[in-house]
Amino acid sequence: STIMPTLLVTGGAGFIGANFILQAIKSQWANVVNLDKLTYASNLQTLAEIASNPNYHFIQGDIGNVELVSYLLEQYQPDAIINFAAESHVDRSILSPHDFIQTNVVGTFQLLEASRLYWQKLSSTKQQQFRFLHVSTDEVYGSLQPQDPAFREDTPYAPNSPYAASKAASDHFVRAYYHTYGLPTLTTNCSNNYGPRQFPEKLIPLTILNALDSKPLPIYGDGQNVRDWLYVIDHCEAIYLVLQQGKVGETYNIGGLNEQANLTVVERICAILDELAPKSNSHYSSLITFVKDRPGHDRRYAIDCSKISRDLGWQPQENFDSGLLKTVQWYLNNSDWVNQVRSGDYQNWLKQNYENR
């Protein structure tokens, strides 16, 4: 029998990391050690179904804690690290950038440093096989006009929000660790993810859950800001492929081939809910409320993912209609998860930040 590789996954209690770990454990891709600080954005309940699987281990802790990370690396001897851990919400980065610098910049640097020290002690065969895969965003490339070509891997960085700037800085450190020390790094830059298990501060789950509660569906500005939407399961498969076959030192853009205006996204969710959970006296779209635009709101992001398609044979499998339908169904069928995640911290934050909208 083949020996499964061991992955140290950081931020695995968040949206994308948890979806990745569920897939990795269920498909027996790897043994997984999940290091997560458990910030407001995390939810261990998402991983309850695999919590007692012998191939899965959870450790609460900070990627910036070099002693802890070094200990885990010695203890578990992972074949690769996948860094999902981050502060990830643009609006929060505008209100309070500090945590973004601390985790996304300093934390990633500390994680790289611990990884380098571990990697340098490996045998030369193991050194060659080792991978540090850093998960990043298309927001590092800035904003596009409607007629502009989509972001490519060689598009210059031009981050506009504190979130994007912090991710850009982390990408640069990953690059530097490859060029300076030879650490075998990979970086992926993806578009907006959607799908099951996403914390309901992001557009799609926020819209679904507000609609079900008959609350306003806030839309920034004129609703014509365009994002590319990537189904989270497609993204996880792309990451796994890059991990196995990606060329060391390179970056890969991952997109859903699916650009949509925010207003269109919200209208489609309303139409799905009108079908699946109809209200007797009105359509969900009557809840749509335009609110003051986000400061510095990027107009459009679009990903050119021809490199990963050409070099590694990856294509997104989900189209937006089927992906959105699955997502809405998941939230309708998982009210326990929803109730848990919406209590406590999240409620307080919502009150502070969304009450006056």
For residue 132, CA distances in Å to 36, 128, 249, 321 come to 17, 11, 10, 34
What count of other Cβ atoms lies within 10 Å of the Cβ of residue 346?
Answer: 17
Catalytic annotation, pick one of 56, 118, 141, 163: 163
Which is closer to ligand NAD, CB of 62 or CB of 234?
62
**Contact pick of 22, 36, 238, 300 for ligand NAD (by CB under 6 A):** 36
**Contact pick of 8, 9, 13, 272 for ligand NAD (by CB under 6 A):** 13
Q: How far is CA 278 from the centre of its chain?
A: 31
Q: Which stretch binds ligand NAD (CB under 6 A): 32-40, 153-161, 288-296, 329-337?
A: 32-40
Q: In the chain, which ranges are continuous DSSP H helix?
A: 15-26, 66-76, 90-95, 98-100, 108-120, 124-129, 162-181, 203-212, 232-245, 262-276, 306-312, 320-333, 335-341, 345-354
Active site residue 138: yes
Cα Rg of the chain, angstroms: 20
**Cα angle value 75/80/83 (rounded, 5°):** 100
Chain positions 171 to 200 lying near ligand NAD, rule: CB under 6 A, are 190, 192-193, 199
Site string for ligand NAD, 45-84 (x = CB under 6 A): -----------------xxx-------------------x
What is the nearest approach in angstroms of ligand NAD to the Cβ of residue 192? 4
CA distance 346 to 342: 6
Nearest alpha-carbon partner for 64 in 95, 117, 105: 105
Q: Decide: is 103 part of the binding site for ligand NAD (CB under 6 A).
A: yes
Q: Which stretch binds ligand NAD (CB under 6 A): 38-46, 50-58, 289-297, 340-348?
A: 38-46
CA distance 90 to 100: 10
Q: Decide: is 88 part of the binding site for ligand NAD (CB under 6 A).
A: yes
Q: Decide: is 32 part of the binding site for ligand NAD (CB under 6 A).
A: no
Nearest alpha-carbon partner for 57 in 47, 45, 42, 71: 47
For residue 261, the SS3 value is strand
What is the nearest approach in angstroms of ligand NAD to the Cβ of residue 128? 26
Active site residue 139: yes
Q: Decide: is 16 part of the binding site for ligand NAD (CB under 6 A).
A: yes
Nearest alpha-carbon partner for 291 in 221, 354, 235: 221
Catalytic annotation, pick one of 36, 139, 237, 298: 139
Count of positions on this chain that bind ligand NAD (CB under 6 A): 31
What is the nearest approach in angstroms of ligand NAD to the Cβ of residue 77? 20
Catalytic sites, residue numbers: 138-139, 163
Contacts with ligand NAD by CB under 6 A lie at 10-11, 13-17, 35-39, 41-42, 62-64, 84-88, 103, 107, 135, 137, 167, 190, 192-193, 199
